[in-house]
Amino acid sequence: MRSTLSVHGEWKMRQDPRQVRYLYAIVRAESVDVAGLHGVGESGQVRLVSHADLAIAVSDVARDALELPEEELSENGKVAELAMTHDAVVRAIFDQAPALPLRLATVVADDESAVRALDQYHDEAILRLDRLDGHREWGIRLCREQATQTPSPKLDGDGGARPTGTAYLQRRRHALRAGEEARQQERALTEDVFTTLGAFASEMDRQPGASADVVLNAAYLVDAAAEEAFLVAAQSQVRALAPHGIRVDVTGPWPPYSFAQLRSRRVADA
Amino acid sequence: MPERNTLASNQGTSLADLLDRVVDRGAFVSGDVIIQLAGIDLIRLDLRLLLVGIETAHELDHSVGGGRDEA
């Protein structure tokens, strides 16, 4: 395995200050082969920068190439392309060995900076890699279905008769209470799903939903041995929640994007 | 498996799902990191990306109006 900062002929460009390093994932040294992998950047060749028993997959990219005008933040724009390339490289690495994917567009100036990152997060990275070993991430998202909203009972009671003030208020109170009850039921269902599926996972996490209709946006770190049981359980939730107007989306398997957080050592900023 | 989003799929996942993962999650390393993409504040970029993702991938949820701001 190449040692830290070994320079091969084709990497001469690295000395160019306009070239920066795009970081993909942290792995154990000598655990993956990245030859032939293409990532972000003109050449895009992915290589490993090693430090002690860790390595980080990087590719050289021109600073200019990372310029993303706001118009590029579209479905087919550069950002989408960047995200897909990033994910493809992370997946190719993760397929071989446990990996800590880095956040999209993590860029450092040079290899020395990448080494410093490995050094700074070394202990925690090792710990996380051990925990992630043999696991994949699955996403579970619960969404309110628009179509199944129960129509509010506007015209109950005495048909067309003009409602008295009291009747109106009473009806209003009922409607509010019904709404509150529905929300409570939804919360209970959501919590139930979250914890039920958690029984099959080594770790679980939830993020805020991207829209108001997302009532749960959860991620589970599932051991390979538990995957089938997890998916069966997820499928039974799909069926169980349909009558409640809640759709369950299962996504995955993912590299452990949601379980790669490295806490900063909080060294004094200097 | 439940229905799959086919939009801009990367191995069967939707772009919104992908962005949700790669933009918001993953290890965040501080230090020498250049956390700016050519002048675009990354936090703002995050928000924009998520909005774009939602718009494109979940046409099912036409939550028009509402105006709920959850920044």
Dump pLDDT digits (tens) for A32-77.
999 999 998 888 899 999 999 999 999 998 877 776 665 555 556 7
| CA A122/CA A115 separation, integer angstroms | 10
Counted residue by residue, chain A has a size of 270
Range of the structural domain that residue B46 is part of: 15-63
CA A70 – CA A79 distance, rounded (Å): 10
Q: Is residue B41 part of a domain?
A: yes
Interface test with chain B among A112, A207, A237, A249, by most B beta carbons within 10 Å = A249
- The structure tokens 């990367």 sit at B10
> A42 CB contacts (<8 Å, ≥6 apart)?
A61, A62, A65
What pLDDT was estimated at residue A111? Answer: 92
Domain membership of residue B52 (yes or no) is yes
For A136-179, the pLDDT digits (tens) are: 999 999 999 865 445 555 545 555 567 788 888 999 999 999 98
Nearest residue in A to B42, CA atom: A105
Q: Is the dihedral of CA A248, A250, A251, A257 positive or negative?
A: positive
Q: How far is CA A268 from CA A110, A264, A265, B31, in A?
A: 22, 11, 9, 11
Residue B58 lies in a domain: yes
Separation CA A157–CA A246 (nearest Å):
30
DSSP string covering A107-154: EESSHHHHHHHHHHTHHHHHHHHHHHTTEEEEEEEEEE-STTPPPP-T
Q: Which residues contact B38 (CB under 8 A, 6 or more apart)?
A: A63, A66, A67, A68
Nearest chain B Cα distance for residue A161, angstroms: 32
List of chain B residues whose C-beta atoms are within 8 Å of the C-beta of residue A258: 21, 25
State the pLDDT at residue A28.
97
Indicate the pLDDT class of residue B10, thresholds 50, 70 and 90: very low
The count of structural domains within chain B is 1
Residue B4 lies in a domain: no
A-B interface: how many C-beta pairs under 8 angstroms?
Answer: 145
Count of CB atoms within 10 A of residue A209's CB?
Answer: 19
Residue B2, domain member (yes or no):
no
Using a CB-CB cut-off of 8 Å, the residues of chain A touching B34 are 20, 107-109
B18 touches A at CB < 8 Å: yes
Nearest-CA distance A166 → chain B (Å): 29
Q: At B39, give phi and psi (nearest 5°).
A: 90, -10
CB distance A116–B31 less than 8 Å?
Answer: yes
Q: Bridge partners of A223?
A: A135
Phi, psi of A190 (to 5 degrees): -60, -50
Residues whose CB falls within 8 Å of the CB of residue B55, separated by 6 or more in sequence, listed in order: none
Q: Measure CB to CB from residue B2 to each of A86, A91, A248 and give the nearest one.
A: A248
CA distance A73 to chain B (A): 6
A10-24, A149-163, A213-227, A241-255: segment of lowest average pLDDT:
A149-163
Question: Is it the case that residue B61 has pLDDT exceeding 70?
Answer: no
pLDDT of B4 strictly over 80? no
Average pLDDT, chain A: 84
User: Is the residue at B5 inside a domain?
Assistant: no
Q: For position B69, what pLDDT does the model report?
A: 40
Residues linked to residue A204 through DSSP beta bridges, in sequence order: A220
B9: contact with A, CB 8 A cutoff = no
Least-confidence region, from A24-28, A33-37, A92-96, B24-28:
B24-28
Q: Do A105 and B37 touch (CB under 8 A)?
A: yes
Within a domain: residue B26?
yes
Interatomic CA distance for residues A118 and A4, integer angstroms: 11
Closest-approach residue (CA) in chain A for B22: A104
pLDDT at residue A72, as a whole number = 57
Distance CA A244, CA A238 (A): 10
Residue B9 lies in a domain: no
- The C-alpha angle with vertex A256 and arms to A204 and A136, in degrees rounded to 5, equals 80
pTM for the model stands at 0.75
The answer to whether the beta carbons of residues A249 and A143 sit under 8 Å apart is yes
- Whether residue A190 contacts residue A216, with contact meaning beta carbons closer than 8 Å, is answered with yes
| Distance, first Cα to last Cα, chain A | 33
Measure the CA dihedral A92/A126/A195/A87, to 10°.
-20
CB-closest option in B18, B26, B52 to A260: B26
Mean pLDDT score of chain B = 52
